[in-house]
Structures are given as C-alpha cells and as structure tokens.
Amino acid sequence: MAKVTITATLNLRTNQAQALIKEALFESMQELFGIDIVTTAKELCPVLKEGTSERYPGELRDSIDSRITKVKNGARAKVFTTAGYGGYVENGTVKMSAEPFIYPAFESNINKLPILMKEAVDNLATDKNG
C-alpha cells in the first residue's frame, strides 16, 4: 500500500490570506475577550455585601464589558468597567488595597488565543473552500 502525504502552505503575503488571518483574529478575540475574559472578570469581581445610597451589590460586576474592533493590521480588544470606581478597585488607592479582577481574568484566559485562532482559521478556510 502506497503512503500518501499532502502538504498545504498558506502564503501570508497574499491579500486573501491576510484577510483570512485578520478575520480569524477578530473572531477569536470576540470569543476570548467578549465571552471568556468578561465572564472570568465577573466571577472574580468583588461584590458589596450590602448596598449603599450610592452603590448596589453587583453594580461593578454588572458594568464589566468588552469592545472588539477591527483595525488596519488586525483587531483591538478592550475589557472595561463603566462604573467610575472600577479602576480604583482594580488598582487600589492609598486608602484601599487593590482587588484586581480584570487583569487576572485576562492572564488566566489569554493562553486560549492560539487555539481559538486555529479553530477560526480552519472554519473560515472550510467555509471559503467548502
């Protein structure tokens, strides 16, 4: 029985290949930042035990969101909180110690990016050729 080997090469210098990679990166970042990192940040976010006249329990957690945009050379992602005091909780102040939740969420999920990229490239390549 003869052995058959097939090799495929992706020339990243073509416009089509660059567009495919950019789209795969965008889709991967949507999943990673828009779902995984935001979900983890919400799980790690400290929540007030009791509400005050200024804040309700879970307000900071509920304000965590992300924005992923396409840029010329790929994609840009931001994870943020719309609560005005979110940065103080994340980084601390002279009067209060930090309780980071966004950076640890990023750090614990970023290793998924290569896997998500491979899946996205495979899916997009199949869609284009299938």
**pTM: predicted TM-score of the whole model, two decimal places:** 0.81
| Tens digit of each residue's pLDDT (9 = 90 or more) over 15-59 | 877 888 888 899 999 999 999 999 999 999 999 888 888 888 899
The Cα–Cα gap between 80 and 88 comes to 12
Query: Is there a contact between 41 and 105 (Cβ–Cβ < 8 Å)?
Result: yes
Residue 50 within any structural domain of the chain: yes
For residue 90, the one-letter residue type is: E
Residue 9 within any structural domain of the chain: no
Q: Which residue range is the domain that position 88 belongs to? A: 15-129
Domain count within the chain: 1
* Residue 74 φ/ψ region, left for φ over 0, alpha for ψ in the -120 to 50 degree band, beta for the rest: left
Residue 2 within any structural domain of the chain: no
| Tens digit of each residue's pLDDT (9 = 90 or more) over 68-114 | 999 988 889 999 999 989 999 999 999 999 999 999 999 999 999 99
Residue 1 within any structural domain of the chain: no
| Tens digit of each residue's pLDDT (9 = 90 or more) over 104-121 | 999 999 999 999 988 888
Q: What's the confidence (pLDDT) of residue 74?
A: 84
Residue 44 within any structural domain of the chain: yes
DSSP 71-127: ETTEEEEEEEE-STTHHHHHH--SSS-----HHHHHHHHGGGHHHHHHHHHHHHHHH
Residue 7 within any structural domain of the chain: no
Residue 39 within any structural domain of the chain: yes
